[in-house]
Amino acid sequence: MIVPRLLLVSFFLLFAAPPPADTGYQKHPLSSRDPEPLLVRGQGLEISRSEYQDYLLARFGRSFTEDMVFDLCLARAVKAAKLAPGALDQSMEEARDTLKRYGGDLPAWNQEDRRVQICNQELTRLRLEALIRAERKPSPKQLRELFDEVYGVDGQKVKVRHIFVSWNESERRLREAGGERRPNRQEIREHALQRIRQFKTQLQQGKSFYALLKKSDDLRTKTLLQNPLRRQLAGLIEGYNYQRFGRAFAKAVRALKKGEFSDVVPSTHGLHLILLVDRKVTRFEDVREQLIQRFADGPILISEVEALRNRLLQDYKVEFLR
């Protein structure tokens, strides 16, 4: 929820005196009744709307005044910018639909309260999103970062498979073959290098990359090979974006053409043979406008809401008098 205290704000405003026509929020039916209605009646007990309002003021003070002012300023700013013209109708419809789904057997007065609260909550959300997104202007750096995220680093989105020989598994194989003696680091690396070179030789002799995946030490590859429905994903590095396995791995991927496999590539955890399955190249200028729109459509951040709140209070020269 973008404004966490909005439900309490709506609750506080529930029985306020009738607001001006251009109030910016959905009024509760009780606020327009004249004369002032009684809300509660009991033995020696009567509570009117104004008494309830006094009670809320005693309980919560003026702590929600700024929230109320923000809602009103937001409504004015959105109207001035000619944004979200159907927000009120949309909010009322959302409130009705929500009550149909979850209202259950709530009393009629409680359903009316919830309808107004939901409507105002949705109304604020729609106005916030409309105004913040209309004013978003990405910096060149933000646009480049989004480009790399969506289309791959420098616009190169690749699909790669790898065969992996790990240092840990190489040590385990040596220990199984040599009894209790623990192999040293040099022996482990020589064993891993010998094993992966054998795989490369088999590839050069025409064996398919996929056929050798069953000998890979990659745990995800082993798991996928055992699943008939997902076997075709074995060896693929999901979402590879030139980060995982380090710089040498990324450099090897950049040098490959589609369908080629690499020489032996080291990483911190072992050795790899890489197959470039596919490469899609996108030019930044070709998608610049789509990126700007995608940036504008991104999730609303709490920091953006607070910045907008502060700006609107300044723009409308709001003074809290007492």
What does the block give as tokens for 201? 């030789």
What does the block give as tokens for 171? 């040590």
Per-residue pLDDT band for 22 (boundaries 50, 70, 90) equals: low
What does the block give as tokens for 126? 């729609």
| Residue 250 three-state SS | helix
| Averaged pLDDT for residues 244-267 | 95
- The CA distance from 294 to 145, in Å, is 12
Q: Please check the confidence at residue 264 and state whether its pLDDT lies above 60.
A: yes
pLDDT of residue 34: 60
Find tokens 């930044």 and name the residue: 284
- The CA distance from 244 to 304, in Å, is 32
pLDDT of residue 11: 39
What does the block give as tokens for 299? 């999730």
What does the block give as tokens for 125? 């959300």
Peptide bond into 35 cis (omega under 30): yes
Widest CA span in the chain: 99
Q: Please check the confidence at residue 260 and state whether its pLDDT lies above 90.
A: yes
What does the block give as tokens for 79? 């109207």
- The CA distance from 93 to 222, in Å, is 51
Q: b/e per residue, 58-95, with b = 16+ CB within 10 A? A: eeeeeebeebbbbbbbbbebbeeeebbeebbeebbebb
**Sequence-distant (≥ 6) Cβ neighbours of residue 252 within 8 angstroms:** 262, 263, 265, 274
Instruction: Give kind and range of the element (H or E) at residue 108.
Output: helix 108-135
Q: Please check the confidence at residue 104 and state whether its pLDDT lies above 70.
A: no
DSSP-derived secondary structure for 259-317: T-B-S-EE-SSEEEEEEEEEEEE--HHHHHHHHHHHHHTSPPPHHHHHHHHHHHHHHTT
What does the block give as tokens for 21? 């026509």
* Cα dist from 269 to 12, 25, 48, 51, 209, whole Å: 60, 59, 73, 71, 21
Asked whether the beta carbons of 133 and 35 are under 8 A apart, the reply is no
pLDDT of residue 46: 87
> What Rg, from alpha-carbon coordinates, does the chain have?
32
Domains along the sequence of the chain with CATH? 6-137+302-315 (no CATH), 153-281 (3.10.50.40)
At residue 234, what are phi and psi to the nearest 5 degrees?
-60, 135
What is the tens place of the pLDDT at every residue in 67-95? 889 999 999 999 999 999 999 999 999 98
Length of the chain: 322
Per-residue pLDDT band for 61 (boundaries 50, 70, 90) equals: confident
Mean pLDDT, the chain, whole residue set: 87
- The CA distance from 304 to 322, in Å, is 28
Of 149, 145, 155, nearest to 279 by C-alpha is 155
Q: What's 236's DSSP letter?
A: B
Asked whether the beta carbons of 224 and 230 are under 8 A apart, the reply is yes
Q: What angle do CA 102, 106, 108 make, to 5 degrees?
A: 120
Which residue would you say has higher pLDDT here, 36 or 53? 53
